[in-house]
Structure 1
Amino acid sequence: MVSNRRVAEIDLIVTDGHDGLLAAVGSLFTATPRQRCLVHKQRNVLNAVPHRERQEVAAELGGIWKQEKKEDALLNLAAFKAKYRQRYPEAIRSLMEDEEHLLTFYTFPPVMYRYIRSTNAIESLFSNVRRRTDQIDAFTTETSCLTIVWAVMQDIRLPKIPVD
C-alpha cells in the first residue's frame, strides 16, 4: 500500500549554514521560522578572531543567547557588534549573515531553549548511525543499509523536549 502522508507544517527548522538544506526547506516550508545553530555560528564567528582572544570573545558571544529575555539578548548583541565591529569586521560580518535567525528560539517556551538552539541532537543521531555503518565494509543492497540504519535509530534514546 502506498502512503500519501506528507509533512504539511513544521514548527521550527534548526539548521547550520548549509545552503542546500536552506534552499530545500525554504522552498517547501516558507512560513516556518528558522533557528540558526548557535554552536556552528559561534564557531564560524570565532574563526575570525585571533586565538589569544577567543576565550574572552566566546564568553561574550555565548552570553548573548543565554539571556532570559529576547530584549536583553538583542541589547547584548548590539553591544557585541559595536565593541568588535572595528577590531574584527569579518567576525561581525559572519555574525550578521544569519542575524535574523539567531534568536528565533525566544518565541518558544524557555524550557525548550537548550534543545532548539543547536543541531546537536540531530548530529548525535547521525554520529551514532555513522559509527555503526562504518563498521560494515559494503552493503549488498540499499535495503540492507536502510535496515542497519533503522535498527540503530531504534536504539537511540533522545531526550524528550519539554513543551510546558
Structure 2
Amino acid sequence: MAQNKNNTDLAELLLQCVGQPDPMLSMLEWLCAQLMEAEVSGQVGAGKSERADSRSGYRCGYRPRRLDTRMGTMYLMVPKIRQGGYIPFFVTERKRSETALIQVVQEESRDSYRLLFQSLKERGLTTPQLIISDANLGLVTAIQEGFPGASWQRCKVHFMRNIPAHIPQKDKKFFAAELKEIWLTPSAESARKRAAEPADKYERCFPKAIRCLEDGLEDSLAFYAFPQLDSRKISSSNMLKRLNKEIRRRTSVVGIFLNEEAYIRLVTTYLMEYAEDWSVSRAYLSEDSIQTLLQAVA
C-alpha cells in the first residue's frame, strides 16, 4: 500500500485548536480522527479512495460515537467497514483496562477497606454506632472486622435496585412501588409485615426477587433501632452520593489540575465548607438528641 503524504500544516492546525472553547480537547479529537483513519487504512489494505492490489475491504461511511475522556466529552466520526466492522483500538484498550480494574477492585476491596478503616482509627475514629453502605462483600467483611459491635445498615436504595433485577422490565415499575412502602412504615415490625405482603403475592411469579428481599430485609431495617435520628438520612447512603457528585462537579469545572496537591486543596476546602454548613445551619441532630442516644446505647 502506498504511503500517503501528510500535508497537514501543524501551525494552522494549532491556530484552529487555540480558537476552540477547549483547545486541548480539540487537539485530542483531531489526533483520534487521524489514528482511526490510519488504523482503518491498515485494516482494509488501502487508504481512503486509493486503488491498490492489496485492498481487502471497503469503507462505507461514518457513524457518530461519544467518547468520554479525562479532558472532556468528544463526539467522533468513526469509520465504518463493510465486512468485519471496526472499533478504534483506544476504545477496546480502555474497555480492557476497565475490566481489569473491576477485577482488581473486587479482589482487593476487603484489604483496601481494612487499610482505610485502620487509617481512620489512627486519626481518632472510634467504633461508630451505625455504618451505612451497600452490600459489597469486601466492604461488609472489612466493617465487621474493623468495627466489631457496630450496627450495619444496608443502603435501602441499593437494596431496592437489587431486587427488581430479577423481574421482567414490564413489571418493574409497580413492583418497585410496593417495595418502597416497606421502608416508609414507622417501625421495624410494621416493615416486616409490609414486606410479607409482596412476598406472599409474588413468590410464585418472581421467586428470585422474593428470595433476594427475604435474604437482605433485616440488614436494611437496622436504622429503626435509632428512632432519635432522621430515618431519611440514615437508611441509605444518598447523602454521601450527593456529596461525591458535588465533588465531581467542582473538579470537572477545573478540568486539568497542575498537580495532585491542587486537587486535594480544592476538595479539602469544599469538605470543610460542607462540614461547617451541616454543623451550623443544616444539622438534623441536636446535641440533646445525640447525648440521649449515646446514654441509651451505653
1:13 maps to which of 100, 110, 131: 131
Structure 2: tracts of 5 or more residues without a match: 1-121, 290-298
Q: 1:111 to 1:11 in 2, by over 3 A?
A: closer
Q: TM-score, normalised by structure 1?
A: 0.85
Q: CA deviation at 1:111?
A: 4.9
SS at match of 1:47: helix
Q: CA deviation at 1:146?
A: 1.3
State the partner residue of 2:167.
49
The percentage of aligned residue pairs carrying the same residue is: 31
The one-letter amino acid of 1:75's match is: K
Structure 1: tracts of 5 or more residues without a match: none
Equivalent residues in 2 for 1:63-142 (5 A)?
Answer: 63-109=181-227, 111-142=229-260
SS at match of 2:184: coil
Matched, 1:35 2:147: no
Q: TM-score, normalised by structure 2?
A: 0.50
Deviations 1:97-151 (A, max 9, x none): 4222111111011651111111010111111111112234444433222111111
Deviates most, 118-127 or 141-150: 141-150
Q: Distance in 2 between matches of 1:154 and 1:31?
A: 30
Q: CA deviation at 1:79?
A: 2.4
State the partner residue of 1:146.
264
1:162 maps to which of 273, 279, 285: 285
Q: 1:153 to 1:118 in 2, by over 3 A?
A: same
Q: Distance in 2 between matches of 1:162 and 1:114?
A: 12
Larger strand percent: 2
Q: Distance in 2 between matches of 1:19 and 1:160?
A: 31
State the partner residue of 2:140.
22
Q: How large is the Cα RMSD of the aligned pairs?
A: 2.0
Between structure 1 and structure 2, the one with the greater Rg is 2
- The question of whether the paired residues in 2 share the 8 Å contact of 1:35 and 1:117 is answered with yes
Q: CA deviation at 1:75?
A: 1.1
Number of positions where the alignment pairs a residue of Structure 1 with one of Structure 2? 161
Q: Distance in 1 between matches of 2:175 and 2:228?
A: 25
Q: Distance in 1 between matches of 2:178 and 2:229?
A: 22
- The question of whether the paired residues in 2 share the 8 Å contact of 1:45 and 1:94 is answered with yes
Q: Distance in 2 between matches of 1:111 and 1:7?
A: 20
Q: Distance in 1 between matches of 2:147 and 2:128?
A: 7
- The question of whether the paired residues in 2 share the 8 Å contact of 1:128 and 1:152 is answered with no
Q: 1:8 to 1:103 in 2, by over 3 A?
A: same
